[in-house]
């Protein structure tokens, strides 16, 4: 009986350590280290099985305003709301990663770029409806890329980041008109 208890305590400790090593403590989203592991596996599938995989880099709009106006605890609450919404909206084989601050990445296996754009368009409409604080609606800018066999993961991440930056500039230009 004592051995069973010790084994259970040991297994619980391992599970806790694994959870801390793979997830963001605040939001529960997967972390950057885990993202690189998942991207490597998906890239292997793209090469070996000729499957498609899209990635979406996400940056939350108006997040700095919320932190500056209402405090970091409010910002943290919104990050958790955002992650919960995304987790409820993605498929079981999709993964959400928090890269830091208000930047996230989605990895969408077996999804081509057109379908990834359609999915993000639905999210973009949903996020401000569900994730807001007082009078500030949270929006999102995004960069979508489809993983290519002949590109490195650094190139993929760079391309998604560049697409995000272009989307953010275009969204700002539209709001200033």
- 27: left (phi > 0), else alpha (psi -120 to 50), else beta? alpha
Backbone angles phi, psi at 157, to 5 degrees: -65, -40
158: tokens are 């760079």
Report how far residue 133's alpha carbon sits from residue 60's, in angstroms, rounded to the nearest whole number: 13
**Identified catalytic residue from 68, 102, 150, 161:** 102
CA distance readout (Å), 158 to 16, 89, 151? 32, 25, 11
Active site residue 24: no
Give me the active site residues, please: 102
């Amino acid at each position: 009986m004592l051995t069973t208890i010790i084994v259970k305590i040991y297994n619980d400790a391992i599970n806790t350590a694994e959870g801390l090593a793979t997830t963001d403590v605040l939001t529960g989203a997967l972390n950057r280290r885990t993202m690189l592991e998942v991207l490597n596996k998906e890239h292997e599938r793209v090469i070996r099985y000729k499957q498609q995989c899209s990635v979406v880099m996400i940056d939350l709009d108006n997040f700095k305003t919320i932190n500056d106006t209402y405090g970091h605890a409010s910002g943290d609450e919104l990050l958790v709301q955002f992650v919960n919404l995304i987790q409820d909206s993605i498929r079981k084989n999709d993964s959400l990663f928090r890269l830091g601050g208000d930047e996230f990445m989605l990895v969408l296996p077996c999804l081509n770029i057109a379908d990834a754009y359609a999915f993000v368009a639905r999210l973009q409409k949903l996020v401000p409806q569900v994730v807001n604080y007082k009078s500030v609606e949270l929006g999102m800018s995004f960069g979508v890329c489809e993983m290519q066999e002949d590109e490195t993961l650094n190139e993929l991440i760079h391309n998604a980041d560049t697409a995000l930056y272009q989307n953010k500039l275009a969204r700002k230009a539209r709001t200033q008109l």
